[in-house]
Structure 1
Amino acid sequence: MVIPSFLSYPFFPRRYNFVLREREMDWLSFSLYLILTWALLEALLYSLGRGKKSSRSKQLPPGPKPFPVIGNLHQLGDKPHKSLAKLAQKHGPLMSLKLGQVTSIVISSAAMAKEVLQTHDHFFCNRTIPDSLRAHDHHTIGLPWLPVSTMWRNLRKICNTQLFANKMLDSNENLRRRKLVSGQALDIGKAAFTTVLNLLSNTIFSIDLADPNSEMARNFKEMVCNIMMEAGKPNLGDCFPVLRKFDPNGRRRRMTKYFSKILDLNDRLINQRMELRKLPGSAVKNDVLETLLNIAEESSEVINKNDINHLLLVLFVAGSDTTSSTFQWAMAELLHNPEVLSKAQLELEQVIGKGNPIEESDIARLPYLQSIVKETFRLHPAVPLLLPRKAGADVEIEGYTVTKGAQVLVNTWAIGRDTNLWDEPNSFKPERFWGSEVDVRGRNFELIPFGGGRRICPGLPLAMRMLHLMLGSLIHLFDWKLPDGVTPKNMNMDDKVGLTLEMSQPLRAIPIPL
């Protein structure tokens, strides 16, 4: 059988060994037979005039013409944020595609993002659920994937008023004070991940979860990276729901394994704390877990142990990967642009004083450091297509209809490089934010790395503190040198993407104490 070239796209595995009726068969052929069967049924329904009349009367946004069965899957490539941005230049910032069986709407401008995330937020506030995230029923418990409901509101309120409120973050700042780096050659990505993991584990559990050289740190990083890659990689089940029960790419099966390891770790730490709380005279911890257990004791209807475990899973996985990725990009841009690094170090020396440690309370007095972080978010948003949303009803935008059930993707990477918004959009210029009121809190739709509307990331306040603390500390206490043979001009600044935007090659640099 001759396989068309478009089937080389990652959605279509070259070969799967699948046992059916105790015989080995070619999984690729089996998947194709199912897809073709579905296509024939669709064609039959269309010929009978059922299920198509209403959609034909609605004008979808413009977009590239889809192929039969696969739609526009062949046009995504291995860097969909870039492929979709290029397509949007031709078809517009409100664009429709057919990804297999799923109608998808891609947003590529600040104005269109405002329509989705603010004007019509009540119609777009729920998620399209990737099939892999159904592992351990996480989509029914995990905060990012829950539909807007009583449970979602309870968890959101806990995050906003308890876990990530400024008062809470101020009170447990001491838990995040740790020596961040030693004076040796570093893999910046690995060092950042371990640092973020310890900042998070101290904030959540009051413990260092990972020593930089420990097996636990390496295993945890591997699990988190695997989770983010599985969640972000193409999946046949997401584009052809008829195939979901078969899990053709095995993503849900692997995600179940990764989730199990982290949930088991969390469960042990939660049980230890619950036993400790029973001991008379035990010291009260001022951390996230203590707050959650107090709420659960007051009302198990608001949150229970299983809810807590899945919330901690979200905090660790999403918080560690996105924050460390952004930090690595920020360091890469500073090493790629030495003059920006020098300006940042000068500001820190003038405001903090040479050799003095930076505190979270100092961040407000460091506008150039803040501008560097904003510029990093603009060029390298941690989640370039945000988490997918789902249209809850037919919505008219700019004379076009976003149909009920459509998947909606917001391309923050494209918005950050929009020539209508930014001067020299591909250049790293923190000065563009100097004195600017633009921030990342979902009010300015030209810069929305954390999303916007009611589904904006609740961990934003903690992430911003950790990023500024880590970046400020490392460039204030150390100068940085690239390894032999690498210069600012020949650095590899290319990216790769799973669910998050990573550097295609790990960044290595040598810290030199100042």
Structure 2
Amino acid sequence: MESDSGSIKSSGGTWGVVVTLSLVVLWYARLYLYRRPNSNSRLPTGPRGLPLVGNLLSLHPDLHSYFAGLAHTYGPIYKLRLGTKLAVVITSPSLAREVLRDHDVIFANRDIPAAGRAATYGGADIAWRPYGAEWRMLRRVCVVNMLSKATLDSVQDLRRKQVRKMVGFFYGRVGSRVNVGEQIFLNTMHVVTDMLWGGTVQEEAAGEGREFREVISELTGLLGKPNVSDFYPGLARFDLQGVVKQMDGIVKRFDEIFERVIDQRLRMMKEGIKEKEGSTDFLSFLLRLKDEGDSKTPLTIIHIKALFMDMITAGTDTSSNTIEFAISEVMNKPEVLEKINQELEAVVGKENIVEESHIHKLPYLYAVMKETLRLHPVVPLLIPHCPSETCTVGGYTIPKGSQIFVNVWAIHRDSSSWENPLEFDPTRFLDSEWDYTGNDFRYFPFGSGRRICAGIAMAERMVMHALATLLHSFDWKMPQGEELDLSEKFGIVLKKKMPLVAIPTPRLSDPALYI
């Protein structure tokens, strides 16, 4: 559900509206009027809804904060009727543990929207694929092969090259207003696409970052757009709002790019063209795995393209938004920025540039990143889970097929778990063992259990390297007369409502360090 969405409007003329309403009424009658509830079931309480639409019309665009407000009235677990779908919202660490740890296998499936299915080749990716042998194979490919420490180390030079290009861009605009968030996004996108295929594919096939930038916002917007097909699955075949049709058009543009880079790589392999020495990328690993993989659950070209889609859509927005929020927060806290600068000067020095080898020696900056992810978790409601069978959570019956939202944004701001929860205070992470493993359900920005994010190691490297570099290389200030805005815009991925526009000033003594 997207933050700037209004009420849902079906397309077509008067006849289309009549047909649509008739179908909805028939669906509602069959589902509700002729189905007797199980007398033994005890559903969570929740706000009263209207016939046909349930609670759809009362939803607020900022769902994360709206859901947090409802929890104050209805408790840490409550239900909503979204058309014919039953949604359950979880807003406490103990209940999150029940869903993501105690009943992990039952809740390991996703509630995939029609747009998500269209975007990922029928749900052939790791984010939306139902739990099972094929998903386990994809997870293994990502964690053990594609995103392992050895593989990430092997593409370190590709990441370094793009970060230096970003520094050069900002250096060329010293003293001027710069849309910092936009440039961080572009850098992150180039880093991701370079890691996917840019190391060995010829330059004209690898430089697709500009085209991706134009369509990613369209794609993520459609993923979050309220869609009649999701609230009334019986109507999905009609695609009344044209969401799937629009998504098919976007995916076609991505697919053309994927086909080009894959075909070129296969041609290079067939002709015996060797990769540059010391240079590799994820496409190389994936094509080898495709040829050498398990015959019972093989990795296919469709899987590779679906994984590419995951990496591009999830790997760009999430990392770039975290960096943008972090820079904004420290600009708003001079005492925090001063401590960061002291640490960077002690570890890196003003005569050197930041390298990835430095980032594990920067505990205070790590704490800044963790605090940023506490206040602004990248996926505030996680990706909705869907129980494969009816079960009990918190003493309530959760029916099979329900849509489960875990409000990690609200849990991270719970005053019973955090002192001064709305205050940006990195020191709370200095003297503790907080991590991203999802073992402590007071802090789990990347989820927990089987469906925990597979790209944590990559995100950590990308965010820390870029954040350390930008703060080490430049001082940042707001244009005269403008105030820093830290407000959020809800979406599948949380963003700043207003992009960060700031003026860079060099901090390093030698201009050659900016080349």
TM-score (norm 1): 0.90
Give yes or no for the alignment of 1:324 onto 2:320: yes
Residue 106 of structure 1 aligns to a residue in which SS? strand
Distance 1:206 1:104, change over 3 A: same
Aligned residue in 2 for 1:262: 254
* Partner Cα distance (1:205, 1:504) in 2: 32
Aligned residue in 2 for 1:31 = 20
CA distance in 1, matches of 2:406, 2:326: 22
Shift, 1:41, TM fit:
3.3
Deviations 1:325-364 (Å, cap 9, x if unpaired)? 1111111112222221221111111111114122222221
Q: For 1:83 and 1:136, locate their aligned partners in 2 and report how far apart those are by CA, in whole Å.
A: 28
How far 1:482 moved relative to its partner? Answer: 0.8
Report matched runs for 1:20-419 at 5 Å. Answer: 24-25=13-14, 27-45=16-34, 51-54=35-38, 56-135=39-118, 138-178=121-161, 179=164, 180-181=166-167, 182-183=170-171, 184=173, 185-207=177-199, 217-280=209-272, 282-283=274-275, 285-299=279-293, 301=295, 302-419=298-415
> Which secondary structure does the structure 2 equivalent of 1:65 belong to?
coil
The alpha-carbon distance between structure 1 residues 348 and 444, as it changes in their structure 2 partners (threshold 3 A), is: same
User: What is the deviation of 1:142?
Assistant: 1.4
Cα deviation 1:388-412 (Å, max 9, x = unaligned) = 1101112112211111111111111
Residues 464 and 453 (structure 1), Cα distance of their counterparts in 2 relative to 1, 3 Å cut: same
1:429–1:230: structure 2 CA closer, same or farther, 3 Å change rule? same
- Output aligned runs, 1:416-431, within 5 Å: 416-431=412-427
Q: CA separation of 1:430/1:26 partners in 2, compared to 1, >3 Å: closer, same or farther?
A: farther
Question: What are the superposed Cα offsets for residues 354-390 of structure 1, whole Å, 9 maximum, x if unpaired?
Answer: 1412222222111111111111111111111110110
Unaligned runs of 5+ in 1: 1-7, 19-23, 46-50
Q: Does the Cα contact within 8 Å between 1:142 and 1:314 map onto a contact in 2? A: yes
Tell me the distance in 2 between the aligned counterparts of 1:117 and 1:447. 13
Please tell me whether the aligned partners of residues 387 and 409 of structure 1 are also in contact (alpha carbons under 8 angstroms): yes
Give CA deviations for 1:16-41 in whole Å, capped at 9, x if unaligned: 2x2xxxxx436555433332332333
Per-residue CA distance 1:442-492 (angstroms, 9 max, x = gap): 2222222211101111111101110000100000011101112124xxx22
Aligned residue-pair number: 489
Give a deviation string over 1:409-446, Cα, whole Å, max 9, x none.
11111111111111111111111111210112222222
CA, structure 1 residues 29+512, in 2 after alignment: closer, same or farther (shift >3 Å)? farther
Q: Structure 2 counterpart of 1:189, which letter?
A: G
Change (3 A) 1:354 1:137: closer
TM-score (norm 2): 0.90
**Runs of at least 4 residues off by over 4 Å:** 26-30
Structure 2 stretches lacking a partner, 5+ long = 508-515
Cα distance in 2, alignment partners of residues 462 and 137 from structure 1: 21
Mapped contact 1:128–1:390 kept (Cα < 8 A): yes
Q: 1:345 to 1:312 in 2, by over 3 A?
A: same
For residues 101 and 351 of structure 1, the distance between their equivalents in structure 2, rounded to whole angstroms, comes to 57
Distance 1:372 1:139 in 2: 38
Which structure's relative contact order is higher, taking Cα pairs within 8 Å and 6+ residues apart? 2
Q: Secondary structure at the match of 1:96?
A: strand
8 Å CA contact 2:229, 2:239 repeated in 1: yes
Looking at structure 2, the residues matched to 305 and 263 of structure 1 have their Cα atoms a distance apart, in angstroms, of: 11
Query: Counterparts of 2:294 and 2:159 in 1: how far apart (Å)?
Result: 29
CA contact (8 A) 1:202 1:208 kept: no
Cα shift at 1:319: 0.5
CA distance in 2 between counterparts of 1:129 and 1:223 reads 21
Deviates more, 1:464-473 or 1:268-277: 268-277
**Cα distance between partner residues in 2 of 1:268 and 1:95:** 48
Query: Which residue does the alignment assign to 1:454?
Result: 450
* Corresponding letter in the other structure for 1:154: M
Q: Is contact 2:121–2:302 with CA below 8 Å preserved after alignment? A: no
Instruction: Quote how far apart the aligned CAs of 1:283 are.
Output: 2.3
Of residues 323-332 and 464-473 in structure 1, the stretch that sits farther from structure 2 once superposed is 323-332
**Secondary structure of 1:177's aligned partner:** helix
> Using the alignment, how far apart are the partners of 1:175 and 1:111 within structure 2?
42
Q: C-alpha separation between the residues in 1 aligned to 2:357 and 2:285?
A: 23
**2:6 matched residue in structure 1:** 10
Aligned residue for 1:195, secondary structure, equals: helix
- Are 1:510 and 2:503 matched, yes or no? yes
Counterpart Cα distance in 2 of 1:278 and 1:224 = 32
Query: CA 1:136 to 1:376, structure 2 compared with 1: closer, same or farther past 3 Å?
Result: closer
